[in-house]
Amino acid sequence: MSESKQTKQTSKNTTENKGREELRQSPMMAHLLDSLEKGTDIGHYGRLTFIMIARHFLDEDEMVDLLSQQPDHNAEEARALVLQVKAHDYNPPKRERILEWQSQQDFPICPTPDEPGTCNVYQELHFPEGIYDHISEFYEEQVKAGEHSGSERA
């Protein structure tokens, strides 16, 4: 391997490791990463949750690599799911949504659902500022929509 290719590969591995380390600050994401690395089926909502959060810490190829190890799931399907989440620019799900999705599948996305405050990635991880801005704009639009529909009823 040429020296420049080796340097790029080392840099990529360092970036990937840093992203995984950051994700592991969330016990739920550590649980999902461990399960993915073992090839355990984390279910559709587990994959969706993983991508919605991990896309802010890992590159597309690493996510596809992890997800393609799922039973009955290949790299093409994994990449399609990653691209779908990116195209819709989904925000990371709130704890309540994760628990709702978890109730619809066998795999426990949140390993400690009975412990209040766990599986709240907004408390456990630090996302890029744009995520918080996007969420704030969403709620502002919801309030305005509520005020507008409320005024029509009066």
Q: Would you state the pLDDT for residue 145?
A: 64
- Is the per-residue pLDDT at 147 higher than 80? no
The full set of domain ranges for the chain reads 3-127
Q: What are the pLDDT digits (tens) for 25-42?
A: 999 999 999 999 999 999
Q: Is 24 exposed, middle or buried (0-12, 13-18, 19+ CB in 10 A)?
A: middle
- Is the per-residue pLDDT at 138 higher than 60? no
Residue 8: pLDDT band by 50, 70, 90 thresholds?
very low
Q: Would you state the pLDDT for residue 117?
A: 87
Q: Would you state the pLDDT for residue 10?
A: 41
Read off the tokens for 20: 């995984």
Round to whole Å and give the CA distance between 23 and 30.
7
pLDDT: which is higher, 68 or 10: 68
Q: Which amino acid, 27? A: P
Average pLDDT over residues 38-60: 96
Read off the tokens for 111: 């390993």
Query: Mean of the per-residue pLDDT values for the chain?
Result: 83
Q: What are the pLDDT digits (tens) for 84-135?
A: 999 999 999 999 999 999 999 999 999 999 999 899 998 999 887 776 565 5
Round to whole Å and give the CA distance between 67 and 82.
9
pLDDT: which is higher, 148 or 48: 48
CA dist list (Å): 130 to 51, 91, 135, 136: 17, 10, 9, 10
SS3 24: coil
Round to whole Å and give the CA distance between 143 and 154.
17
Q: Which amino acid, 117? A: G
Asked if residues 107 and 75 have their Cβ atoms less than 8 Å apart, the reply is no
Residue 148: pLDDT band by 50, 70, 90 thresholds?
low
Residue 143: pLDDT band by 50, 70, 90 thresholds?
low
Round to whole Å and give the CA distance between 127 and 93.
12
Round to whole Å and give the CA distance between 31 and 134.
27
Q: Would you state the pLDDT for residue 27?
A: 96
